[in-house]
Amino acid sequence: MRFCHGIAAVLLVSTALRAMAQSVPQNAINAGTISAAASDLGLNAALPGTASGEAPSFAPSGSGQPTSVVGQHFITQATPPTETYDQLIAQMPSVQDIQPNGPVAQQNYGESIRGLQYNQFNTTFDGIVVPGTTSTFAPQDAVYFTNHDIGSVSIDRGPGTASTIGYATFGGTVSILSKNPAITPDVTAYGSTGSYRSLLYGLDLNTGIQPGLDGGRGFVDVSGASSNAWLTGTTTVRRNVFLKWQQPIGQHTLVTAVAMLNSSYGHTPYGAQRSQIESFGPQYALNFNVRSQDYQGYNTDTYNTDLEYIRIESTLGDGFSVADTSYTASYYHHGSQGADPNGTTPNLNGKIYIGGTATFANNEVPGTEGHNDFRDWGNVLRLAKSAGFGNIEAGFWFDYVSNSAYKYNVDFSRGAVAYTTKKTATPFSYNYVDTLTTVQPYIQSKIDVTPWMSLIPGVRFSDITRNLDATINKSTKKPAMDAETFSAPQPSIEAKFKLAPHWTAYAQVAKGFLAPPLSVFATTAVTAVNPETTTNYQIGTAYQTGALSVGTDLYDIVFNNYIASSSVAGVTLYTNQGGAVFRGVESEATYALAKYLWIYGNGSLNDATYNNGATVAQSPRRTGALGVIYDRKSVVTADDELFASVVGKYVGPQYGSDSGKIDAYPIKSYQYVNLTGAYTLPFGTHRMRFSADIFNLANRRGIEGLAGLAGDGVTPLYWTEPGRSVVFSLSVSLNG
């Protein structure tokens, strides 16, 4: 129903805009801020047969901060449709991505960039900030967009310029761009199958350019996936619909409409103790014993999401342009969980209360059920004016999220009925509603100082208001009604240098911002805390030709206002407690060894240290990748294509936890190698593509990360590397 409402809105607005288009001046240049941004970053150079086009990632030549991009050609050729966007960036410098269930399960349990965690950087889709839970801002990667609908993914390892919007400009931005509709009509059927009884299928319908609709074009992609996954007892089932339409209005206005609907269900792992890994193997996660809190049927999650937007881009003449995007998104999550999966909490024994009536439990399984639902509404307005010295840009982002969440204790042995251990107690751990309102205006200017140097100064102002209305607040278990506004300016300045036709350099100083989490209200004595901020100093260079692509940078990030909890007279308080420093060097390169053959490599040395000398958790000291890519057309027939790649990733040692700014749970370095082979065969106007992907070729299955602590708060749970897996994919295009 939500999807149908989104489509109806698209049609109504498109009709209204057609009438408005008659007033657009005819002396303006072509519209399209997204395509213009892609051109500025050198993304148009990522063509097949070039170093950037064949690379697992490359440093674009037009960036003003450290950036890595994976283009559509590599996504299409070297990654199966089963992957998610976070897996596409896993090979990039300074990136760690923990996928304990393997690449076919579409489940992500840890991602960091330079040691900054997944809730400390933004994720955007077509320039829209992808909403996460209001408590931590981090989106679930496997409940929105599928690999098949992605055109490119980039990481800006820094707060960006003033025009970079987001809740968490603190640690950078993962930017996803959807693929554009095809120019010619096409129907593509695709599917994948492989390890763990995985199955993916989809149908992609492209209209091509429609002259009768003034050049409008679009596509709809419908897909489904299921997998038993690497870890025992875990599964994933997913359904997704994605629609995109681009409609020219006159000669100077473009309307883009997108609608996405997703449904996901799975049995969720929570890590395992070392003793369990040693006894039951590295695959152990859930079991099939109904008397166990680790039982598969008790640990489930259901997600339903949607996202719709309408973007109007127009050039207005005299150097003016405007882009306005209105969007909405939702996230509906219902989950159940054993009270302490793979932990130490015993089953229920003795007197319990159900509906206030006493009864006796005999080895009965305790657990929880809960939900977290939100609806997000927002608008992004961007204005630009070209001038003799460069240009001036200004904009405004507004976002409003309304959220509700609860969790209560259940006895799974009695059909998930709510229970308490005291007659007058409540089964609820928490029950609240909250809102998050974000306002971010910005202004910046590009100043062309000389033909080879430009400056981009600007400032963004963040104003985020949290409101909490809790019947039962987290931690305190008492009612609460709190509100707080967190504000801070984020000035930035970039300098870009064109050293040669294919060689650029940059320097950046910029402030980052991260609003406090909702947990600062989870106390009986709410204290004022300041937003966490960063001051980023970065320099780098990029060189890009058809045969060689190189990018190198140095960074120094000062992290201020670290928020942590402490106990004073038995009361938990949240305060700002110092900060940390992140420093490092990053580099990546792709080079044509011979015709059709490229070598790729990247590496980083990273240091993330708190002021007391402790290491920031989940911050590998170094990362690296090395690979070889072969891509050749006209191998057997005039227009066929053979593609092969082998890429290995190394992630250095780290600590799993930094609670209390103390190094704990050391994790050794680990590595893996992925292999891909693909062959595309034309027949008439049709094309058939077959590929085989082997992940973790050496079948390494050691510990790769800390999953958390068991219910006793002491026993660590770990993630292990998923063993070797194979995915076979086939797609057939009816119009080449």
Q: What is the distance, to the nearest Å, from the Cα of residue 609 to the centroid of all Cα atoms in its chain?
A: 25
Alpha-carbon separation of residue 667 from 230, 274, 387, 656 (angstroms)? 21, 12, 53, 6
Confidence of residue 142 (pLDDT cuts 50, 70, 90): confident
pLDDT tens profile 661-706? 889 999 999 999 999 999 999 988 899 999 999 999 999 999 999 9
Only one residue has tokens 């793979």, namely 342
In this predicted structure, the answer to whether residue 482 has a pLDDT above a threshold of 60 is yes
Alpha-carbon separation of residue 627 from 496, 601, 641, 643, 650 (angstroms)? 30, 6, 20, 13, 12
CB 401 within 8 A of CB 376: yes
| Beta bridge partners of residue 688, listed in sequence order | 681, 732
Confidence of residue 524 (pLDDT cuts 50, 70, 90): confident
Burial of 134 by CB count in 10 Å (0-12 exposed, 13-18 middle, 19+ buried)?
buried
CB 53 within 8 A of CB 118: no
Alpha-carbon separation of residue 274 from 267, 291, 521 (angstroms)? 21, 22, 35
Round to whole Å and give the CA distance between 408 and 674. 42
Which is more confidently placed, 600 or 120?
Answer: 600
* Mean pLDDT along residues 518-543: 88
* Mean pLDDT along residues 429-442: 96
Task: Spell out the CATH class of 2-733.
Answer: mainly beta
Task: List the one residue out of 385, 245, 383, 232 whose CA is nearest residue 309.
Answer: 245
pLDDT of residue 450: 95
Q: Mean pLDDT score of the chain, rounded to an integer?
A: 89
Residue 469 in 3-state DSSP?
A: strand
CB 456 within 8 A of CB 496: yes
Largest CA distance in the chain: 82
pLDDT of residue 26: 30
Round to whole Å and give the CA distance between 562 and 516. 10
Which is more confidently placed, 85 or 440?
Answer: 440
Count Cβ neighbours within 10 Å for each residue of 63-89 and write b for 16 or more, e otherwise: bbbbbbbbbbbbbbbbbbbbbbbbbbb
Q: What length does the chain have?
A: 736
Rounded to two decimals, what is the model's pTM?
A: 0.90
* Mean pLDDT along residues 123-140: 85
| φ and ψ of 586, to 5 deg | -135, 145
Round to whole Å and give the CA distance between 583 and 115. 10
Helix (H) or strand (E) run with residue 45 in it:
none
Rounded percentage of the chain residues whose pLDDT exceeds 90: 72
pLDDT tens profile 340-369? 999 999 999 999 999 999 999 999 999 999
Rounded percentage of the chain residues whose pLDDT exceeds 70: 92
| φ and ψ of 618, to 5 deg | 55, 40
* Mean pLDDT along residues 399-425: 96
pLDDT of residue 567: 62
Round to whole Å and give the CA distance between 440 and 462. 5
Confidence of residue 45 (pLDDT cuts 50, 70, 90): low
| φ and ψ of 108, to 5 deg | -120, 130
Round to whole Å and give the CA distance between 285 and 231. 6
Round to whole Å and give the CA distance between 432 and 478. 11
pLDDT tens profile 211-269? 999 999 999 999 999 988 899 999 999 999 999 999 999 999 999 999 999 999 999 99
Would you list the domain boundaries of the chain? 2-733
573 HSE (CA, 13 A, CB side): 13
Round to whole Å and give the CA distance between 571 and 525. 7
Round to whole Å and give the CA distance between 172 and 318. 34
CB 67 within 8 A of CB 47: no
Query: Token digits for 19?
Result: 């009438």
Only one residue has tokens 């450290």, namely 66
**One-letter-per-residue 3-state SS of 391-416:** EEEEEEEEEEEEEEEEEEEEEHHHCC
In this predicted structure, the answer to whether residue 288 has a pLDDT above a threshold of 90 is yes
Burial of 728 by CB count in 10 Å (0-12 exposed, 13-18 middle, 19+ buried)?
middle
What residue type is assigned to position 133 of the chain? T
Round to whole Å and give the CA distance between 668 and 620. 9
CB atoms within 10 A of CB 198: 25
